[in-house]
Structure 1
Amino acid sequence: MKLTKREKLFERIENHLRITARQLVKFDTEEETLQYLIDSSRSELKCDFVGIVLKEGNYLISKVWSGSCVSISESFPIKIENCSPTFLNKSITFDKVDKDTICEFSKLLLEENILTWFTVPLKDDTNTYGFCIIGFMNYVPLLDEMNRVFEEFGKDVAVAISLSRRKEVQKNKMMGVEWISQNLTLDTEMDQIVGKLVERAGKGTNAQFACIYLYNERENCFILQTPAYGEKTRLNKILIEKNYVLKEYFPYLETPGGPQLTVPLVIDLKTIGVLHVENKGSLVFTKEDEEILELLSNHVAAMLENARLYNNEKDHKQRLHHLLDYQQALVKETVEKDTFDGIVFTLSRLFSKTVMIFDRFMRPISYELFDVAEDELHTLMELATFEVYQKKNRDLWFSVDYDRNMGVWSVNGGSDLLGYLAIDITGEEIDDFFKLSIDLARNIASIQFIKQKIVLDAKEQVKDSFITKLLVEKIEDEESIIQYANLFNWNLFHQHRVAVLSIDLLEEGTKDNILEHQAKKSLLWDQIKTRVLFYDQDILFANKEGEFILIIPIEKEKEKPKVYWAKLYEEIKKWLALEGDKSKILIGISGKTEVINDYFIMYQQAVQALNVVSHRFSNVGFAMFEELGSYTLLHHLKDSSIATLFIQKHLEPLLKYSEGKSMDLFHTLRVYLNNNGSIKETSDELYIHRSSLLYRLEKIESLLEVSLNFAEHRFDLMMAYKLYDLYYSNTALT
Structure 2
Amino acid sequence: MDENKRQKLMKKIENHLRTTARKLVKFNTEGEALQYLVNSFGEELECDLIAIVLKEGDHVVPTLYQGDFQRGIPHPPIAMANCLPRLFEGSTTFQEVEEDSPCLLIELLRKNGIKTWFSVPIKDQESEYGICMIGFRRYVSLLAEARQLFDDFGEDVALAVTVARQKETQRRKMVGLQWLAQHVSLDTPLEQFVEKIVERAGKGTNAGGACMYLYREEDNSFVVHPPLYGKVASPKQVMMKNNYRVSDYFPFLERPGGDELTVPLVVNFKTIGVLHVERKNEGTFTKEDVEILDMLANYVAVMLENVRLYQQERDHTNRLRFLLQYQQKLMKETIRHEDFHGITKTVSHMFDKAVIVFDRFMRPIAHERSGLSGQQLRQIAKQVFNQVLGKSRMGGHIQLEGLSDLSIVVWPIHNGGDAVGYLAIEASPNEMDDFFLLGVELARNIFSIQFMKQKLVFETKEQLKDSFLHKLLAAEIEDEESIIQYANVFQWNIFEEHRLAVLHLQMDESNGTIDLVKQNAEKTVLWNRLKVRIAAEDSSLLYGAVEDQYILIAPAARERKKPEKYWSEWHQRISRWINEEKTSYRVFLGIGGKASSIGDYYVSYRQAMQALQVMIRNFPGKSVAFFDELGAYTVLHHLKELEAAKLFVDKYLGPLLRHSVGRNADWLQTVRVFLDCNGHLTETAERLYIHRSTLQYRLEKIEEMLGFSLQGAEQRFNLMMALKLYDLYGLPSAKMLKK
Q: Partner residue of 1:557?
A: 559
Q: Residues 477-525 of structure 1: CA distance to partner in whole angstroms, max 9, x if unpaired? A: 2232222223223233332211122334659989856565445434443
Equivalent position of 1:539 in the other structure: 541
Aligned to 1:411: 413
Distance of 1:665 and 1:244 partners within structure 2: 98
In structure 2, the gaps of 5 or more residues are 389-393
Distance 2:404 2:121 in 1: 70
User: What is aligned with 2:455?
Assistant: 453
CA distance 1:716–1:440, change in 2 (3 Å) = same
Deviation at 1:333, TM superposition (A): 2.9
Say which is worse superposed, 20-29 or 616-625, in terms of deviation: 616-625
Q: Does 1:333 align with 2:329?
A: no
Report the CA distance shift for 1:60/1:400 in structure 2 as closer, same or farther (over 3 A).
farther
> Residues 211 and 275 of structure 1 are in contact (CA less than 8 Å); yes or no, is this contact kept in structure 2?
yes
1:603-618, aligned counterparts within 5 Å? 603-614=605-616
| Structure 1 range deviating more: 102-111 or 117-126 | 102-111
Alignment pair present for 1:62 and 2:61: yes
Pick closer, same or farther for the CA change 1:535–1:115 going to 2, 3 Å. farther
TM-score w.r.t. structure 1 length? 0.78
Look up the SS of the partner of 2:3 in the other structure.
coil
1:295-335, Cα deviation, whole Å (9 max, x unpaired): 34445544443343233323433343343333323323322
User: How far, CA to CA, are the matches of 1:364 and 1:495 in structure 2?
Assistant: 32
Deviation at residue 467 of structure 1 after TM alignment: 0.7
Query: For residue 314 of structure 2, what is the aligned residue in structure 1?
Result: 314
- CA deviation vs aligned residue, 1:660-690 (integer Å, no higher than 9, x gap): xxxx99999989998998989988x99xxx8
The alpha-carbon distance between structure 1 residues 354 and 124, as it changes in their structure 2 partners (threshold 3 A), is same
Between 1:547-556 and 1:632-641, the stretch displaced more is: 632-641
C-alpha deviation, 1:264, in angstroms: 4.3
- Tell me the number of residue pairs that the alignment of Structure 1 and Structure 2 aligns: 717
CA distance in 2, matches of 1:6, 1:510: 138
- The answer to which of 334-343 and 545-554 deviates more is 334-343
CA RMSD in angstroms, aligned pairs only:
5.1
Separation in 2, partners of 1:482, 1:103 = 122
Counterpart code for 2:442:
L
* Amino acid paired to 2:459: D
Q: 1:292 to 1:647 in 2, by over 3 A?
A: farther
Q: Distance in 2 between matches of 1:94 and 1:682?
A: 150
1:74 aligns with 75
Map of 1:385 onto structure 2: 381
When the two structures are superposed, what TM-score results if normalisation uses the length of structure 2? 0.78
Query: How far apart are the structure 2 equivalents of 1:51 and 1:699?
Result: 150
Which structure is larger by alpha-carbon Rg, 1 or 2? 2
Supply the distance in 2 between the matched residues of 1:61 and 1:253 (Cα, whole angstroms): 24
Aligned-partner SS, 1:493: coil
Which of 359, 373, 397 lines up with 1:395 in the alignment?
397
Residue-by-residue CA offset, 1:355-376 (whole Å, 9 max, x unaligned): 5544444555445565x4xxx5
How far is the alpha carbon of 1:471 from its aligned partner?
Answer: 1.6
Structure 1: where are the runs of 5+ without partners?
Answer: none
Paired AA for residue 66 in structure 1: Y
Q: 1:75 offset after TM fit, Å?
A: 1.4
Structure 2 vs 1, CA of residues 129 and 594 (structure 1 numbering), >3 Å: closer, same or farther? same
Counterpart of 1:499 in structure 2 is 501
- The aligned counterpart of 1:165 is 165
8 Å contact kept, 2:649–2:723: no
Deviations 1:556-597 (A, max 9, x none): 111211122222333334445566666533222222224332
| Counterpart mapping for 1:668-707 below 5 A | none
Deviations along 1:528-563, one digit per CA (max 9) or x if unpaired, are 333333433211111224322110111111121112
Listed one character per residue, the Cα deviations across residues 253-287 of structure 1 (whole Å, up to 9, x for unaligned) are 44444444444444554556554444434644332
> How many angstroms apart in 1 are the aligned matches of 2:697 and 2:79?
127
Amino acid in structure 1 at the alignment position of 2:164: S
Q: Which segment is superposed worse, 81-90 or 584-593? A: 81-90
**Partner residue, 1:40:** 40
Q: Match of 2:125, as an amino acid? A: D
After superposition, the Cα gap between the structure-2 partners of 1:680 and 1:641, relative to the gap in structure 1 and judged at 3 Å, is closer
State whether residues 362 and 381 of structure 1, in contact with CA within 8 Å, keep that contact through their aligned partners in structure 2: no
1:590 partner SS: strand
Change (3 A) 1:34 1:316: same
Q: How does 1:410-489 map to 2 (within 5 A)?
A: 410-423=412-425, 425=427, 429-489=431-491
Judge which range, 482-491 or 92-101, deviates more. 92-101
Name the CA distance, whole Å, in 2 between partners of 1:674 and 1:98. Answer: 148
Contact 1:189/1:311, CA 8 A, preserved across alignment: no
Which residue of structure 1 lines up, in the alignment, with residue 295 of structure 2? 295
Tell me if the contact between 2:364 and 2:381 (Cα under 8 Å) persists in the aligned partners: no
Which AA in structure 2 matches 1:62?
A: V
In 1, Cα distance between equivalents of 2:483 and 2:622: 35
How far apart, in 2, do the equivalents of 1:11 and 1:215 lie? 63
Stretch moving more, 382-391 or 576-585 = 576-585
Say whether the 8 Å CA contact 1:59–1:283 is kept in structure 2: no
Q: Using the alignment, how far apart are the partners of 1:245 and 1:617 within structure 2?
A: 89
1:125 to 2:125 alignment: yes
CA distance in 1, matches of 2:99, 2:615: 126
User: Contact between 2:703 and 2:710, CA under 8 Å: does it hold in 1?
Assistant: no
Contact 2:471/2:477 (8 A) holds in 1: yes
Q: Name the aligned partner's letter for residue 59 of structure 2.
A: L
What is the alpha-carbon distance in structure 1 between the residues aligned to residue 571 and residue 185 of structure 2?
74
Given that 2:64 and 2:73 are in contact with CA atoms closer than 8 Å, whether structure 1 keeps it comes out as: no
Contact 2:591 2:625 in 1 (8 A): yes
Q: Is the 8 A contact 1:589 1:609 kept in 2?
A: yes
